[in-house]
Structure 1
């Protein structure tokens, strides 16, 4: 599934005519501001669009696929929790300090994080039942759809009202909301491992963008990425088919 969220625009800096340095700069991918936050948003949208359909297609006797669906939903829920922790513990306090006029918006977002976490936990109970009973998949899929619509409202508020303000508050080189910051949080938390998390975050992202993002990470991550990516594709292929099939259907 191609990523539409993480397209990279060329810098809007005036160039002198015939400047080779400027042309080279225009051709280089630009760093994505707050990539850790944006990648999670992208991945949540992607999976909340395809998980309900995968659940509806679950047939009686497909126990292995049912277990895989439950595992993936549980993983998505864990990543959402880590995302909220990154925001509430690391990002929002800094925004409150340097942009106090945003405190009411941040208070609402933090409160909605708790509400969303509880809602995802309740749906997890339903998915656990549906993964073993194909007759109950459709109502649970509708519950996923409703939760996806509610989450979309939250994500749009962050992207339209908060991130543009944060771009003016934090320097471009800041680690706040970055992919390395998110990976550091995952390493210190009792949650998804770096390999699974990174493969999930970069699933469907254009190769040039992936290369740019991996360049921000440490050498161990870049070295192990091909293996992590291949393993993730094999594990999720049971849910929605090979990545090649998805790419072909999106064209």
Structure 2
């Protein structure tokens, strides 16, 4: 699930970079860009919140090694860099055209910085933090963190979350990710959630 989320974030970072470069030429696409951005922003915020409040504290309780503590501190520090960048971009994209704090090349520069910092963070998490979590956490720890994620996300977000998570993935990759969810939910996704998601206009 963590890797599937990271893949979705990388996909949307690509969409965002293209949107930042193209919005000045295609301002009529702003609403579609905002729709894609809001989904990315909300999922990233939820992901970081679950990590900071549930996953990384559980890892910290299971280890006392200095090197492990440094990895966890780096994760929190990197969140502290990424999250303000998200807020800056959000303030510009959420405002009416020309009314945000950034526009044109300034917005493109802010998006580029977000792209670089978040991409670095995702790589660092995959290389160091996730292997650490897999090494020290118990099945009960993972279950508790997953329960926190489900509780804080809420059922009302699932119709958008499932198709967003697998958007752009191969059939094999999507099947592997969706296998983590109960069968009845997958039936609803195939019949209702996915078609509805496809009808919604996003990005450029």
TM-score normalized by the length of structure 1: 0.68
Length, aligned pairs only:
198
What secondary structure, in the 3-state scheme, does the structure 2 residue paired with 1:123 have? Answer: helix
- The answer on 1:50 being equivalent to 2:18 is no
* Contact residue 20 and residue 104 of structure 2 kept, 8 A: yes
- The answer on 1:107 being equivalent to 2:73 is yes
- The answer on 1:126 being equivalent to 2:88 is no
- Shift in CA distance, 100/151, structure 1 to aligned 2, threshold 3 Å: same
What secondary structure, in the 3-state scheme, does the structure 2 residue paired with 1:201 have? Answer: helix
- Shift in CA distance, 176/149, structure 1 to aligned 2, threshold 3 Å: farther
Query: What is the match of residue 199 of structure 1?
Result: 163
Match of 1:150 among 117, 129, 139: 117
Query: What is the match of residue 166 of structure 1?
Result: 133
Match of 2:108 among 141, 154, 157: 141
- Shift in CA distance, 151/176, structure 1 to aligned 2, threshold 3 Å: farther
Larger % of helix: which?
Answer: 2
Alpha-carbon distance in structure 2 between the residues aligned to 1:40 and 1:221: 18
Q: Structure 1 residue 84: deviation in Å?
A: 0.7
- The answer on 1:91 being equivalent to 2:29 is no
- Shift in CA distance, 225/181, structure 1 to aligned 2, threshold 3 Å: farther
Query: What is the match of residue 234 of structure 1?
Result: 199
What is the CA RMSD across the aligned residues, in angstroms? 2.9
Q: Structure 1 residue 214: deviation in Å?
A: 2.2
* Contact residue 53 and residue 141 of structure 1 kept, 8 A: no
- The answer on 1:40 being equivalent to 2:11 is no
* Contact residue 35 and residue 203 of structure 2 kept, 8 A: no
Q: Which has the higher contact order (CA 8 A, sep 6+)?
A: 2
Alpha-carbon distance in structure 2 between the residues aligned to 1:125 and 1:232: 25
Answer with 1 or 2: which has the greater Rg: 1
Q: Structure 1 residue 137: deviation in Å?
A: 3.1
What secondary structure, in the 3-state scheme, does the structure 2 residue paired with 1:216 have? Answer: coil
* Contact residue 183 and residue 194 of structure 1 kept, 8 A: no
* Contact residue 56 and residue 72 of structure 2 kept, 8 A: yes
